[in-house]
Amino acid sequence: MGIRFRVNKLLDFLDSPLGSQLKYYSLFYLILWSMHLILISLISYFHFLLNHNIRTIGDWIGDRGWELIILSKILIFYFALQFIRLKLNKVKFINSYFQNSFQLPRKEIVASLLFLLIALMGLGGVKVNQSFIAEFGRVILSIVGTFVFFSVDYALLIVLEIFFPIQNQGQRSQKLLIFPFLFYCFTYSTFIYEQTVNFNLYAFFFLLMYVGEWKRRNWNIPLIFLVLFLIPVYSFFGFDPVWSDNYSIFTMERAVDSFSFFILIAFVIGYLHLSNIRNPEYIYRE
């Protein structure tokens, strides 16, 4: 009886909006993992035909890490969108979301961005990278790769929210905690050949999800944080998880660990949360 009860509870959860989002997000990464593994296998096969050793193959994959990540994520996201287009009754809701869920940046957002950038530079001691390899194409790839890396997952969560809207506040809070952790775990297991994955991915994605619900649901504030904070951190300050600071104009004198990123982002979220309590916004448009 106990086992049957637990199974029924699990099945009920998987049929809930949050459970449905978890199922489809996991399916997305299962397909992505398979696609990426196929790409890596094909690359290794042709390298073995050329009598290259394992180290050479690993160096080649690492050197083209962002290209492989971009290709894998965009391809699978494209296929996901083709599936979504079959659900024509939901397309209008997607269009409505992007039209109505725009929120003008406020002084709190500007202050948060400045705090993150200034605090990070102060913690790490930013300096010009003397060993910088001047390859403009690699810098562009790092920028595009970082954008695709985060935005594809965030866009997928928007689509899943439209298909399976969560009304329960408890499940909304659970989603905010669960999906950044899944993003970290799935990234670690999928792109392990290209990336030095660390736990700051959880903090970064948590930040994007939080500001996407700040005041009211929106998509442009996460975009602002992605473009003005995460991309500079990865592509210009030497935190690129694929190429490190090899192609970054700046680097840090002192290491900034994941715990420090968590503290910085916790300060920002605390500040935004308090400002929302003091000045709540009740207007919401679907």
Burial 232-257 (b: 16+ CB within 10 A, else e): bbbbbbbbbbbbebbbbebbbeeebe
Amino acid at 284: Y
Specify the DSSP class assigned to residue 279. S
Cα–Cα distance between 100 and 152 in angstroms, integer? 20
Among 11-15, 38-42, 103-107, 225-229, top mean pLDDT goes to 225-229
Contact 251, 98 (CB under 8 A): no
**Which residues are paired to 126 by β-bridges?**
252
Confidence band for 286, pLDDT divided at 50, 70 and 90: very low
Q: What is the dihedral of CA 177, 192, 224, 262, to 10 degrees?
A: 50
Sequence letter at residue 194: E
Backbone region of residue 252 per phi and psi (left: phi > 0; alpha: psi in -120 to 50; beta: other values) = beta
Residues 36 and 189 sit within 8 Å (Cβ to Cβ):
no
Query: pLDDT band at residue 31, thresholds of 50, 70 and 90?
Result: very high
Instruction: Evaluate whether 116 touches 268 at the Cβ level (below 8 Å).
Output: yes
pLDDT, tens digit, for every residue of 63-82?
888 999 999 999 999 888 77
Give the count of beta carbons closer than 10 Å to the beta carbon of residue 46: 10
Locus of tokens 């996407």 = 212
What CA–CA distance (Å, rounded) separates 148 from 140? 12
The model carries a pTM of 0.91
CB 83 within 8 A of CB 160: no
Distance from C-alpha of 117 to C-alpha of 70, rounded to nearest angstrom: 26
pLDDT digits (tens, 9 = 90+) for 111-150: 999 999 999 999 999 999 988 888 889 999 999 999 999 9
pLDDT digits (tens, 9 = 90+) for 193-213: 766 788 999 999 999 999 999
d(CA 12, CA 5): 10
pLDDT number for residue 86: 57
Instruction: Show me where the domains of the chain are located.
Output: 2-278
Q: Residue 107's pLDDT is what?
A: 93
Which pLDDT value is given to residue 194?
65
Residue 244 three-state SS: strand
The C-alpha atoms of residue 197 and residue 187 are separated, in whole angstroms, by 8
**Ramachandran sector of residue 215 (left: φ over 0; alpha: ψ -120 to 50; beta: rest):** left
**Which amino acid would we find at residue 69?**
I
| CA atoms of 169 and 93, how far apart (whole Å) | 21
What pLDDT score was predicted for residue 285?
46
